[in-house]
Chains A and B, each alone.
Chain A
Amino acid sequence: MNYKILQKGNLDNFITALSARMKVVAPVKRGYGNYSFEDVKNSKEISLKYVPTVLPPKKYFMPQYETLIEYDTKTGQKMQAVVEFEKMVLFGVHTCDIAGIQCLDIVFTDRPRDLNYLIRRNEILIIGIECNEYCDSFANCAMMDTHMPSGGYDIFFTDLGDYFVADIHTQAGDDLINGTNLFDEPKGYHLKALDALRLKKREIFRNEVGIDRNELPDLFVKGFEANVWNDIGKRCLACGNCTNVCPTCYCFDVDDIPNLDLKTGKRVRIWDSCQSEPFAKVAGGESFRKERSDRKRHRFNRKFKYPVDRNNHFFCTGCGRCSRTCMASINLKETIRQLYQECSAL
């Protein structure tokens, strides 16, 4: 571990120094208790303590709308594949959202690899920030074991009152702080304070559902026909909020946007949602997940069962966004609890 210390009074200088070099994105307060990752120029704009942002940092890695191809059909089906990207540093990313980026990495590095994603992600640096306590009661990060830092960042900040301990995890991270002259070598008491926080966190963060996550894949098989899917299916509005805000939902559609000459245009990738009815429909009209209950069950399985089968990895990061944003108050923790109870009764 390569730790450095940044005095809190120097945070503004650090952010200003970063923003002189590249775009800096950080959590910003947006009213009604909401936060959003936005461009910032100084530390005063940043909320160090925040409830997970409305949209996760996914929006930088896999934009809601991106150009894949530019075409020109004046003389044949001519095209050029393109990648849109921007060099930036994300500051203040929670461990749950870092876990989400790691999930997207799994999907888009799987063959056939997605060059648009891979090129873009190489331009994005990540500075994480530790959650010393729960953001709110929607989170289930202890259950998913995403509440502690475990890689996926260039630098990781822990707020310890008057100073931050910065874990410099990569050379790229070291290059970011080099030359700023703002970081000091840690003293023994700094690291002791860090250890003390981590110990305290073990007391604070307890499995929020009370079910070992390793039991979940089997539970989802056992409970495939459980009533809970009908119950939440009846309440679901199929709005797609849960998939939009999920840090690991990556389903997309591909569409053509012609220019007014109808000869040139672009082929774009846009976020899509498995919660909408036409998502699994084929041209002949057959719809393979017709009911909302089918689609809700599919989404839950895509977090706790299917990705475990494919990549031995849960695709729930415990961020709580789906529950926080649901207009019908469908709650992830309650859903799993109900599933567990139903299956125990079997």
Chain B
Amino acid sequence: MNKITINNSSYEIKRAKIIKTRKLTETEKLFDVSLFNGESLDHEPGQFIEASLFGAGEAPISIASSPTRRDSFELCVRAIGKFTTAMHRLDVGDEIGVRGPFGKGFPVRILFGKDLILIAGGLGIAPLRSLINFVMDNRRDFGIVNILLGCKTPQNMLFGDEVEKWEKRMDVNFNCSVDQASPEWAGNVGLITSLIPGVTIIPDRTFAVVVGPPVMYKFVIKELISKKVPENQILVSLERHMKCGLGKCGHCQIHSIYCCQDGPVFTYDQIKNLKGAI
């Protein structure tokens, strides 16, 4: 058996340094990461990377920051498996490896000039935040912007400080709901779908973007369709195990689609007939 070294392998990682960390909740930690040599990740909102730690492996992690921040990017990581638990042990100055960015993100150029309903449930805020902050940084390029958030309890709320800022902005209609309230919670209690009737929708100029756990999609999309939002103007980001990111390994396949290359962002009409997609 011969062995040669190669450059430009799709499995080659770029080295990156953690420049800031923030504990968001008991299980979520935010990492601010910059590639070596000042290189920019140059991603689109909604894309993901394969984060790597040699010895622990790799995991697909969505990029939580907007590409309008060019010097670094953020990863919101929930400690839930072998890799993410290992990653939670890292701190400022530690290194990770990065492959990507991968996949088709939110089609921001199609969204320009349109009214937006940005809907996130639970950890879905992590990928959607890349779009929300992109929209905030380019606010005048978009029509009416609505942000609807949902999470289990107020304690599970991610990016609370930013959420507060969105809430205060005059150019954003913000609403949020929790499944279970705590005594000091003054906001809405109930499913995220209950927030949709409160949004004024002009269907032909409205794009809805929905990111959340699988169970959320069905009900939120049903509500949007009842408000006459066209099916090709409802965008979803699907979670799958994107092991290689290269459209090869098969783990993320949904029917003939490779979620890692053809997605993770799809329009509802692209996936509505694919049983098991949502």
Contact = CB atoms under 8 A, between A and B. Distances in A.
B84 A283 contact: yes
Contacts of B10: 112-115
A81 B6 contact: yes
Instruction: State the majority secondary structure of interface residues on B.
Output: loop
A25 to B, nearest CB: 13
Interface stretch (B53-61, B152-160, B217-225): B53-61
Interface in B1-54: 1-13, 15, 52-54
A194 interface: no
Interface stretch (A67-75, A91-99, A155-163): A67-75
B12 A69 contact: yes
Given A86-B1, A283-B80, A289 B6 contact: no
Given A81-B6, A82-B4, A250 B248 contact: yes
A288 B251 CA distance: 10
Top 6 closest A-B pairs, CB basis?
A251-B250, A81-B9, A306-B256, A71-B54, A309-B256, A283-B81
A82 B243 contact: no
Contacts of A78: 15
30 contacts: A69-B9, A71-B55, A73-B54, A77-B15, A77-B95, A77-B96, A79-B13, A79-B97, A82-B3, A82-B5, A82-B6, A83-B4, A83-B9, A84-B1, A86-B1, A107-B248, A114-B10, A115-B8, A119-B6, A250-B248, A250-B250, A252-B250, A253-B249, A254-B11, A267-B11, A283-B81, A284-B78, A286-B214, A288-B254, A306-B255
B9 A301 contact: no
How extensive is the interface on chain B, given as a class?
35 or more
A254 B247 CA distance: 14
B11 A69 contact: yes
Contact of A77 (B97, B255, B256): B97
Contact of A254 (B9, B12, B81, B244): B244
A253 B250 CA distance: 9
A67 B254 CA distance: 28
Contacts, number: 144
A282 interface: yes
A82 B1 CA distance: 12
Chain B CB count within 10 A is highest, among A73, A119, A267, A305, for A267
A82 to B, nearest CB: 5
A224 B255 CA distance: 11
Given A250-B248, A286-B239, A68 B9 contact: yes
Contacts of A298: 253
Contacts of A272: 249-251
Contacts of B6: 81-83, 115, 119
A262 B54 CA distance: 9
Given A68-B11, A107-B248, A301-B255, 12 more contacts: A73-B54, A83-B9, A116-B9, A119-B4, A250-B248, A251-B250, A253-B251, A254-B57, A254-B244, A256-B55, A267-B54, A306-B256
Interface of B: 1-13, 15, 52-59, 78, 80-81, 84, 95-97, 213-214, 239-241, 243-244, 246-256, 275-276
Contacts of A81: 5-7, 9, 11-12
A67 B243 CA distance: 16
A110 interface: yes
Contacts of A265: 54-55
Contacts of A306: 253, 255-256
Contact of A79 (B54, B57, B239): B54
A131 B214 CA distance: 50
A125 to B, nearest CB: 16
A77 B246 CA distance: 21
A272 to B, nearest CB: 7
Contacts of A281: 241
B2 A86 contact: yes
Instruction: State the majority secondary structure of interface residues on A.
Output: mixed
A280 B240 contact: yes
Interface in A155-205: none
Interface residues of A, number: 58
Contacts of A87: 2
Contacts of B276: 288-289, 294
B4 A256 contact: no
B15 A282 contact: no
Contacts of B97: 77, 79
A282 B239 contact: yes
A256 B50 CA distance: 14
B54 A115 contact: no
A80 interface: yes
A97 B256 CA distance: 23
A192 B3 CA distance: 46
A256 B80 contact: no
A133 interface: no
Nearest to B56: A256
Contacts of B8: 115
B238 to A, nearest CB: 9
Contacts of A76: 15, 95
Nearest to A85: B2
A255 interface: yes
Interface in A252-284: 252-256, 258, 262, 265, 267, 272, 274, 279-284
A168 to B, nearest CB: 27
Interface in A195-244: 224
Nearest to A78: B15
A85 B57 CA distance: 24
